[in-house]
Amino acid sequence: MKIENTKAQMRKGVLEYCILGILSNGDAYASDIIEHLKNAELIVVEGTLYPLLTRLKNAGLLEYRWEESTSGPPRKYYSLSPQGKSFQLELKSTWDALQKAVEHITTSK
Amino acid sequence: MNKTININLGGIIFHLDENAYLVFNNYLKAVKSGLEHQESGAEIIADIEARIAEIFGMRLKEGKRQVINESDVEFIISTLGKPEDFSDSDDMENEPFSGKEKNKRFFRNPDETVIGGVCSGIAAYFNTDVVWIRIIFLILFFFTGIGFFTYIILWAAIPEAKTTAQKLQMRGEPVTLESIEKVFDKFGAQSKESGKKIKSGLSGFFDFVINTIGSIFAFIFRFLGVIIAIIGALIAFSLLIALLGIFGSTWSFTNFDFININGHVLGMNGTEAIFGGGWRLIALRLGTILTLLMPLFALVVFIAKVLGKEINNSRLLSFSGIASFIMGLLLIFISAGSIITDFKEDATDTERYTLSGTSFNVQAEFLEGNSGFFFEVDDEVLRIENIRFNIQPTSNEEASLELRHSARGRSHSEARQRAQNYEFPYAQNGEDLQLSEYFNVPKSAMWRAQSLKATLYLPVGATVYLDPSIENIMYDVKNVQNMWDGDMLGREWIMTSKGLSCSDCPEIIYYRAQDLEDEIQDNVDEELEELEEDIERKLEELELELKRLKDR
């Protein structure tokens, strides 16, 4: 079992929640989302994100509109759908609970 | 200078240089093949392409460039991630990998070679173990020889799989996530070790045998190659010598014989006699020099290669070599063609000289070193040995010598002039008629197929002794005994109305087989008749005896 694989698995698990979290603070381009995630070192490469965004969009959690770009083709401008908002809130409580639980287990030895 | 290839990404045109394109195309293919089968894969691909277009656009702007290079593509790959990064972890299992192997191509496999990697390339194509292909080839090689030629042809025709993408194509592996891992791990060790690990013990043993045989064959091939090279070099060398011979023959060096055999300067006299001294000789000389340049250049390049030194301008060298070769041939052809027109017209000059007496002893001057050459060149004259001597009866009282000298020329008058201009040394000294084996023409007349027919006309009853020294000039002399020219020498002859007749030849009686048979048959018949008569007489006597006894 490789540590890298486990790390990647962990990151991937929280990735969806993080994307929703970023978008809950305001609409964003895919590249903005990527920027945030990269800074947080949650993803290393961008490729991971595109399938994920599409999947979330298909699930009805995200919406997008086209925006013209000066430096390339038109870009998708993502925002949370109402369904996505509630989904995000639900995940947030789960995450908070999970975080506490994990903290509790790993520190109270 | 690099070729660029245009691509369309998200509706924007980009120019990629060739290397960048190769890498990028492989990458994008791999990414696509991983995503295609996913739900709304097309959309994801479009998003990714748009993103790539954005990054490309940015980088071009930053670098103030117009063409995408390999570093841009590498940046894309490092930014967007390897193809496997694009997959959603959950979907990994569902992904169908069995894309049709449409991109399968024949390549020679450079990673597993005995000779040229043909067999392993075929094995990769048909997805079998290379051992079986090698066995088939060896069988074909030993029992039919087809294997050898097939191998050579395939070796020449099939390209080697140089890039990793080609190696994938060689195996017909679809460009998928799995296979592409190899592409992007190509900096690691993909080739030999991994291939060897898979092999079972059995095929390992076969491999050992095949490899051993293979290296023997590799040695033989190399050996054959050396032999072929040697043969080629020999042929080239002899051609060179021949050309040098022609070259040398077109120049007359004072006190220096280029190729000297038995006192004859090979070819030189001939060239001079045929080409004269005008522009045609110059053209021929120039032509041979130019023609010689190519093999000379080739030799230089070859030697340089043997010594392992590359000549910088070898292309220029070979081009100018070929050009001068063609020029040289052209000059030679022009020169030779002009010569050929000199042989167009034919003219004959006939003269008849009366001889005294009716008894002759015909001799000819024996030329020292007569080696059967057409002609030889002295300082001023061309000595031609094309003489036909004949002896014929004449109704005249006196004997005579007729000389018919013919020559060729560009025009009839030129030919006639040439035909008249010759000298045949002969002399009569009492009974001795001294002829020569050659006749002379001026050097300026050049050799234009001159020939001389010398005919000795003798009245009937005249006698002649043929000295063996005329052997070389005798030509089909008619005689009653129907003897060959050579047999007629050294004998006394007398002229009859039917031609010469030998007067001191031993009488030879000829029998015809039919006559002999008839004679024998006659003899046999006669004897048989006598026998029959004898028997009849005896019978009569016996009968009479019987009667006499009965009567008693």
For residues B394 and A2, which has the higher predicted lDDT (pLDDT)? B394
Give the chain A residue nearest B75 (alpha carbons).
A45
- Contact criterion met (CB below 8 Å) for B266 and B249: yes
* Closest Cβ–Cβ partner in B47, B61, B86 for A48: B86
Q: Out of 1.10.10.10, 1.20.120.1760, 3.20.20.150, 3.20.20.80, select the CATH number for domain A3-107.
A: 1.10.10.10
What pLDDT is stored for residue B94 in this prediction? Answer: 36
Q: Band of the pLDDT at B199, cuts 50, 70, 90?
A: very low
Residues above pLDDT 90, as percent of chain B: 14
Give the chain B residue nearest A66 (alpha carbons).
B47
Q: For residue B523, give every residue at least 6 positions away whose Cβ sits within 8 Å of its Cβ, in sequence order, or none.
A: none
Which of A4, A50, A55 best tests the B interface by mutation, with the highest count of B CBs <10 A? A50
What pLDDT is stored for residue B416 in this prediction? Answer: 93
For residues B198 and B425, which has the higher predicted lDDT (pLDDT)? B425
Tokens representing B384? 């031609």
- Strand ranges (E), B169-267: 260-261, 264-265
Name which of A97, A87, A100 is nearest A21 in CA terms: A87
* Closest Cβ–Cβ partner in A9, A45, A54 for B81: A45
Residues of A in contact with B35 (CB under 8 A): 51
Q: For residue B343, give every residue at least 6 positions away whose Cβ sits within 8 Å of its Cβ, in sequence order, or none.
A: B408, B409, B448, B449
pLDDT in tens, B241-287: 776 766 666 655 444 444 444 444 444 556 667 777 678 878 887 88
**For residues B318-323, average pLDDT:** 78
A45 and B79: CB-CB below 8 Å? yes
Where are chain B's structural domains?
4-94, 233-341, 346-502, 513-552
Which of B45, B51, B56, B92 best tests the A interface by mutation, with the highest count of A CBs <10 A? B51
Which of B89, B91, B95, B177 best tests the A interface by mutation, with the highest count of A CBs <10 A? B89
* Closest Cβ–Cβ partner in B50, B61, B86 for A51: B86
Name which of A34, A57, A69, A32 is nearest B81 in CA terms: A34
Q: Band of the pLDDT at B183, cuts 50, 70, 90?
A: low
Maximum alpha-carbon separation in chain A: 55
For residues B376 and A40, which has the higher predicted lDDT (pLDDT)? A40
The answer to whether ipTM exceeds 0.85 is: no
Helix (H) or strand (E) holding B212: helix B201-249
- Contact criterion met (CB below 8 Å) for B508 and B482: no
**For residues B515-525, average pLDDT:** 89
Q: Rounded to the nearest 10 degrees, what angle do helices A30-39 and A49-58 cross at? A: 120
Interface of B with A (CB under 8 A): 9-12, 31, 35, 38-40, 43-44, 47-48, 50-51, 53-54, 56-58, 61, 78-83, 85-89
pLDDT at B189 exceeding the cut of 60: no
Our CA-based measurement puts residue B81 at a distance from the nearest CA of chain A, in whole angstroms, of 5
Residues of B in contact with A74 (CB under 8 A): 50
Residues of B in contact with A12 (CB under 8 A): 89
Our CA-based measurement puts residue B54 at a distance from the nearest CA of chain A, in whole angstroms, of 5
pLDDT in tens, B381-437: 777 888 899 999 998 888 999 999 999 999 999 999 999 989 888 888 888 998 888
Count, residues in chain A: 109
Where are chain A's structural domains?
3-107
A51 and B81: CB-CB below 8 Å? no
A50 and B47: CB-CB below 8 Å? yes
A75 and B78: CB-CB below 8 Å? no
A47 and B88: CB-CB below 8 Å? no
* Closest Cβ–Cβ partner in B40, B57, B81 for A44: B81
